[in-house]
Amino acid sequence: DRFLPEPSLEKQPELHIHIVVPNEFQTWGKYNIGITAGAEFTAVRPEWLEGLNRMDLNIVPSEFTKEWIVKTKFDKTNEETKEKVGELLLDKPIEVLFEGYDESIYGNKSADDDINTELNSIKEDFCFLFTGHWLQGGLGNDRKDVGALIKIFYESFGKKLKKPALILKTCGSTPSVVDRHEVLGKIDQIKKQFPGQNLPPVYLLHGDLTDNQMNALYHHPKVKAMVMFTHGEGFGRPLLEFSTTGKPILVSNWSGHLDFLKKDAVTLIKGRLTDVPKDAFPENIYQEGAQWFTCYFDVVKKELIKCFKQYKKYNKKASRQKVYAKNFTRQKMTEKLGMIIDKYVPEFPTEVA
């Protein structure tokens, strides 16, 4: 019932490109391409494989996403005998197309009056920045692990005399007034775990910003580093966009962002694979037995403190990432898409009037 009705067209289109979760892929063209962010963990649902197999070609944003789609397999069984009669696995081509950043905006120092007003009101000169949605799931179970990030930040600097700040550019499902109060409530619940402590400040930047405003935020002198201890990313474009500043990045050593982050130019946090909790995803996305990445919290604390104390050292190596990021511009993405289209899409006969 999630399928869109078939469009009413005078003739069947030669090429149909569908950008959606794979179980909703439809084949309305003579040649059909499915584009999806895929999954952020180690297995996808069988309905996703069935959807991917409906298409002539599938495109995903990272080698990580491709790897786990290709590795996922399910047994096909006879309903009467319960005997295995085959396997469900990907049997259609799949290519990787990274999500390029807009080089006309990102990588160029800029300012924005609204951003400056907000950040200039912050008294701290050293701010860690997190950018991303605060998704469903209890503490430690939301996909980007925002709740755990706040808790670890408090633990790292709560008893320190000199403290940095943490800026959360986040919201839940929709940037509404209700959502803002819910996010503030979740921050307050974590803060209550540290009664009587002089905790470092956590600031909330809530709602939608333009690309120009995001770039101004990234380049603001008080924003010193990006932190994201995510359980898994299909790609992680905010990390790519921020990397064009040449400032330090502290991030999980797993999933899609490893395609574009240079290992010797960022700080990759070690961790382990853990089972994906059921409350982390809607039922139509969650797959039993799937795993994702959980950072070692002691390593996170150590790196946060070291980055704050030894910032020049972290900032020096980050400059290499700024150069490397130029391989992932929107222009280069467009060029790669053209190569993929040329490789797979057939030539269609021209109609004679």
What does 18-41 look like in DSSP terms, one character per residue? EES-GGG----SSEEEEE----SS
Task: Tell me the mean pLDDT in the region 190-218.
Answer: 96
Q: What residues are paired with 131 via a beta bridge?
A: 169
Give the tens place of pLDDT for each residue, 65-102: 999 999 999 998 888 888 888 999 999 999 999 999 99
Start-end of CATH 3.40.50.2000 domains in the chain: 113-328
* Token reading at 29: 């063209």
Share of the chain above pLDDT 90, in %: 84
Give rounded-to-5 percent helix, strand, coil for the chain: 35, 20, 45
pLDDT at 182 over 60: yes
Per-residue pLDDT at 3 exceeds 70: no
| DSSP-based three-state secondary structure for 8 | coil
Provide the mean pLDDT of the chain.
94
| Spatial separation of the C-alpha atoms in residues 101 and 76, rounded to whole Å | 41
Q: What is the pLDDT of residue 284?
A: 81
Residue 173 has pLDDT above 70, yes or no: yes
Domain 113-328 has CATH 3.40.50.2000: yes
**Helices (DSSP H) in the chain: which residue ranges?**
46-54, 63-71, 113-120, 146-157, 177-191, 211-219, 237-243, 297-309, 311-324, 330-344
Rounded to whole angstroms, the Cα distance separating 55 from 18 reads 9
Task: Provide the pairing of β-strand 84-88 with 94-96.
Answer: unpaired
More confident residue, 55 or 5: 55
